[in-house]
Structures are given as C-alpha cells and as structure tokens.
Amino acid sequence: MTHTARPMPPLDADERTGLESWLDFYRATVAAKCEGLTDEQVRLASVPPSSLTLMGLVQHLAEVERNWFRRVLTGEDVPPVHGGPAGPEGHDGGFELSGGATFAGACAAWQEEIAVSRAVCAERSPEDSAPFMGGEVKLRWIYHHMIGEYARHSGHADLLRERIDGSTGV
C-alpha cells in the first residue's frame, strides 16, 4: 500500500495551528487507509462481528464534520449528509451503506464538509463559543473532540484495512 504523505503537525506551533494540524493529520490518516481499494473492498465489513466498513467510516466522518462545525458551531439547520432525519432518532450517523452509494461520492461529500469546516473555523477564534446542551461549547473544545473522534476512527480503519488486504502502517 502506498500513501499520500500526511502533514506532520509542527512541533512548535501556536495553539490554533496545532489543533488544526492534528485534525488534518488524522483526516489524512483515514484517507490513506482507504487509498487503492475498490468500491467492493471499502464496503467490506472485515472485522466480524462488527458491520463497520471503511466507506461507513468516511460517511460517518462527513456527518461528524457537518454536525460539529455547521450545526453546533454555526447553528446552521442542515440535513444529514447521507440521508435520514438528523439526530439520534432514525439516523445511524452515516455508518450504514446504501446500495447505490459509491465510495467516490462518499469521499467527495466528506471533502466538501471538511472544506466548509475549515472556512467556518477560519472566521473564528478557539475562544468563540456556541450554545450546546444548555451551556456553551468553545471552538477549542470542538477541535479537541474532533481530534479524538478522528484518532479513534483511524484505529478502526487500521484494523479494517489490515483485514482487507494485510496492509499495515501509515
């Protein structure tokens, strides 16, 4: 498996650059885990008994980007990226695959959400906040949460990819 180089976060960055760099590092890690696979392979639930797939992870990450940076941070009323009602009722967070969906389409939607997230954050300070769960959540907290989300799913992607074709590392 060959990979596109991941952007190594700088060792001496200011807070904002550090947060953005680590988030981009993990975004690139997930993308690298999917490189070179067919649509059939990214749809493969390769770690039984889990039904998790690489395509499902990519779809979920598009949903997570949309949720935190658009719905929560900006208060934008946008539907789920991959169909179904927004919120916990009746929506699986993007993990479920539809028969007609393609990996290219899932990646394009994910990259579009990342671009919107970057634009939304560029206009704000890590100290900026938004209403959330009866209180306020700062952009700084959202960055930390997203880094954790991506790091966790990078580990899932490691296992899925290794079971698909034996590839390890990145």
- Residue showing tokens 């954050």: 121
**pLDDT for position 90:** 42
pLDDT score of 5? 76
pLDDT at position 98 = 85
**DSSP per-residue string spanning 95-106:** -SPPTT--HHHH
Q: pLDDT (tens digit, 9 = 90+) per residue, 15-61?
A: 999 999 999 999 999 999 999 999 999 999 998 899 999 999 999 99
CA distance 33 to 46: 14
pTM: predicted TM-score of the whole model, two decimal places: 0.91
Give the Cα separation of 169 and 167 in Å (integer): 7
Give Rg (Cα) of the chain: 16
Are the C-beta atoms of 56 and 44 separated by less than 8 Å? no
Q: What is the pLDDT of residue 82?
A: 86
The answer to whether 28 and 62 have CB atoms below 8 angstroms apart is: no
Q: 115 CB contacts (<8 Å, ≥6 apart)?
A: none
Residue 88 has a pLDDT of 43
Task: Give how far Cα 80 sits from Cα of 15, 103, 105, 110, 148, Å.
Answer: 31, 17, 15, 12, 21
In angstroms, what CA-CA distances link 124 with 16, 102, 118, 136? 10, 34, 10, 15
Looking from the CA of 87 toward its CB, the CA atoms found within 13 Å total 3
Domains and CATH numbers, the chain: 31-165 (1.20.120.450)
- pLDDT mean for each 10 residues of the chain (170 residues): 73 96 97 96 94 96 97 96 58 82 96 98 97 97 98 96 90
